[in-house]
Amino acid sequence: MLTLSDLLLAVVAFLPATAGVANVEDGWHNLRRVTHDRGYTVVFRDGQCTHGRLSSGGDQTIAFEFQPGQVRVIRRSEVLRISDNPSAPAHDAVFSARSSWTDLKDAKPQATEYLHIVTKRGEELKWKPAAISDDSVAFEGRTLAKADVRYVSYVRFKPLTTTEEYIHQENADLLAPRLWFHALMLGKISVLLYNSDLPEDNSPLECKNPRYRGGYFDETPETAAKNALQSALNDRTERTEIPVTAIADRSDNLVRLDLWVDANGISWTQKADRWKSDIQILVRFASNDGKQTGQILSQEIALKLLPESHTIALSNGLLKHIVLKVPPQAASVRVIVLDRGSGKVGTSSIPLAPPHL
């Protein structure tokens, strides 16, 4: 006859090996913990993307302001990834709804960020940096087979506010107390990137929003560039020879512009082992009546890309982040991208939200 202690031993003996595994959050509740004073990108399961501000987060939905005063309720079941970067790479994810070993490779923790690994035996590891191959992850002489991994979370710094990002960009961290001791004061969030209990999805994650293309000019490149630039500065209609998307994220008297340029829309020349192109980016602020306010800001960029980087640019586009002071009375901002080699132009005009009170 079995005693009570025998029964208890039998139950323990037949408990699954994963019974002791710690609960791992998938990161959805990060949306309550991160700053709402900056822009985010939502990647939907159908490949479409939207950019804007988080207004609030609940257990199954978020309120997302995609234009000033226009809020959309987004269901958790619709979302594939939420990122604080317009191109939504795994490294900048604040939430991921898929299990992807590729995303794990792309996380690339920096400074005191790390990977939190939970094995199928329940062992918890904090590894950084880790060497990740297709079938294993290694750190300081120890190699763990992918087949033995249950969960991996990317523990990263919380996103900066728009103001903090501007200060950091200007190398004036003393003006922002949270940046004094970056690793200690910013805090961290955990983003689950790999879950062996779910089907694995390593497909490329790209925004599939429609991109519009325009025609070509008959002028010489020099004349075309001059005429196109003058027209783009004075005309309110959008130019689409170069597909351009700009996102404006305002905080008080600062605005962060996240600029995406389709690299297929600009001219390239190959010299030796580099692909070269000369572009010019201009930013013009305007009041409600369309009149210019403040100065036109201009930056010329000489691109010199290695073949691998050129291929990536043609596939993913070119990204540029700019933080600027908003001049008084500014109600909108227009970004102009000029290809100095061909004279082609792309523009993107965005209304500015009023300053936060």
266-302 pLDDT, tens digit each: 989 988 889 999 998 989 899 988 888 888 888 888 9
**Judging by DSSP bridges, how do beta strands 149-157 and 114-119 pair with one another?**
antiparallel
Q: For residues 196 and 151, is the Cβ–Cβ distance under 8 A?
A: yes
- Tell whether the model's pLDDT for residue 149 goes beyond 90: yes
Q: How many residues would you count in the chain?
A: 357
The token pair at 139 is: 């750190």
DSSP for 185-211 reads HS-EEEEEEEETTS-B--S--------
Which of 232, 221, 281 shows the shortest CA–CA distance to 257? 281
Exposed / middle / buried, residue 339 (Cβ in 10 Å: 0-12, 13-18, 19+): buried
Q: What's the whole-model pTM score? A: 0.58
Banded model confidence at residue 231, pLDDT cuts 50, 70, 90: low
Identify the structural domains of the chain with CATH numbers, from first to last: 13-195 (no CATH), 221-351 (2.60.40.10)
Q: How far is CA 306 from CA 6, 267, 340, in A?
A: 69, 16, 20
For 91-110, write each residue's pLDDT tens digit.
999 999 999 999 999 999 98
Tally Cβ neighbours within 10 Å of residue 165. 21
Largest separation between any pair of C-alpha atoms in the chain:
99
d(CA 51, CA 5): 60
